[in-house]
């Protein structure tokens, strides 16, 4: 009876609101009375020849890419999913090259076809990555070359990146890094950012979410810049860190396990001065070589010491 009632309501909306497109109605109906998903799996193998960049811009579906030092070809597994056989056959992609760029191009119309393609790919380790999906998550493992990763709606996870990585979720989704040894940049509009065992420069920004970072090493030439509007910041640093520190929160509080040498300033010792000290720090940890900047508008900032 519940399904019947919801179906009647949907038909009433469709007939009274002529601006709702047919495809939108199909998506609403599938969400209320889901049909069985059918799928088809395709295996492909390509020779990248002299390519130095691998590009995949998916429309709907997840992407998982790993590299192998012994891999000479690109091995691709595509899992096509749809509700109807006629849509399944229309979920198409093709391979093409543009100079030194090897491209997997999505060729179906996402506005009229209700389906998705998940990709699982193994590539040679020397290929740089330019990977994106509009709706879906992205997982990247063991990259040796630079990578650019993005999704509109979905999570990003990067494991053992040995070169620079730029990761962005445009609308909603968390970003996680495990053991990045190169420079990383993470940006999300709505979602948390987690970074484990970083060893180089880290730039992370989220509007609506928290940031938690563990720094395995903080090289003297590196920068840590963590920014959020509504979430908290938790930065775990090794005990022997040497960094110039600037931290600011408007509505939260700053606390630190590390000893900080505050830079000289002239101030009265009144209530406003003590309150300002809890919300704005300009000082040095150790001998101060690296650069650390932390900013959270609405929440706390915590500097924690990683125990040996």
Query: In terms of Cα–Cα distance, which of 94, 106, 96, 93 is closest to 51?
Result: 96
Residue pointed to by tokens 């709907």 = 60
Q: Provide the residue count of the chain.
A: 308
Of 275-279, 284-288, 292-296, which gets the smallest average pLDDT?
275-279
pLDDT tens by residue, 168-200: 999 999 999 999 999 999 999 999 999 999 999
pLDDT tens by residue, 194-224: 999 999 999 999 999 999 999 999 999 999 9
Report whether 70 contacts 145 (CB < 8 A). Answer: no
Of 146-150, 181-185, 291-295, 304-308, which gets the smallest average pLDDT?
304-308
Report whether 227 contacts 297 (CB < 8 A). Answer: no
Query: In terms of Cα–Cα distance, which of 40, 41, 31 is closest to 6?
Result: 31
| Number of other CB atoms surrounding residue 224 within 10 Å | 24
Which pLDDT does position 278 carry in this prediction?
Answer: 78
What's the rounded mean pLDDT across residues 128-149? 97
Rounded CA gap, 105 and 119, in Å?
12
The ranges assigned to domains in the chain are 2-32, 36-139, 174-308
Provide the CA 257 distance to its chain's centre, in angstroms: 29
pLDDT tens by residue, 247-264: 999 999 999 999 999 888
């Amino acid at each position: 009876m519940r399904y019947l009632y919801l179906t009647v309501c949907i038909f009433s909306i469709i007939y009274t609101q002529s601006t709702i497109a047919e495809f939108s109605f199909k998506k609403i109906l599938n969400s209320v009375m889901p049909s069985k998903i059918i799928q088809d799996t395709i295996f492909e193998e390509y020779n990248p020849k002299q390519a130095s960049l691998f590009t995949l811009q998916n429309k709907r579906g997840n992407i998982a890419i790993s590299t192998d030092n012994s891999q000479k070809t690109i091995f691709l597994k595509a899992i096509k999913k749809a509700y109807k056989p006629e849509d399944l056959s229309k979920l198409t992609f093709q391979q093409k090259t543009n100079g030194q760029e090897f491209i997997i191009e999505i060729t179906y119309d996402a506005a009229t076809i209700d389906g998705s393609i998940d990709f699982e790919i193994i590539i040679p380790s020397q290929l740089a990555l330019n990977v994106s999906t509009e709706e879906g998550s992205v997982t990247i493992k063991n990259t040796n070359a630079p990578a650019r990763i993005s999704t509109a709606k979905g999570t990003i996870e990067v494991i053992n990146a040995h070169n620079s990585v730029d990761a962005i979720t445009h609308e909603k989704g968390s970003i996680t890094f495990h053991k990045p040894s190169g420079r990383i940049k993470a940006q999300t509009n709505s979602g948390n950012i987690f970074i484990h065992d970083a060893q180089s420069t880290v730039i992370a920004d989220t509007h609506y979410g928290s940031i938690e970072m563990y720094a395995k090493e903080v090289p003297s030439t590196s920068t840590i810049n963590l920014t959020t509007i509504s979430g908290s910041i938790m930065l775990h640093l090794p005990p022997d860190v040497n960094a110039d520190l600037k931290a600011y929160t408007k509505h939260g509080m700053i606390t630190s396990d590390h000893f900080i040498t505050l830079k000289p300033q002239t101030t009265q010792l009144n209530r406003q001065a003590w309150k300002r000290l809890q919300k704005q720090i300009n000082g040095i940890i150790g001998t101060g070589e690296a650069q650390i900047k932390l900013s959270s508008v609405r929440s706390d900032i915590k500097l924690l010491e990683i125990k040996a």
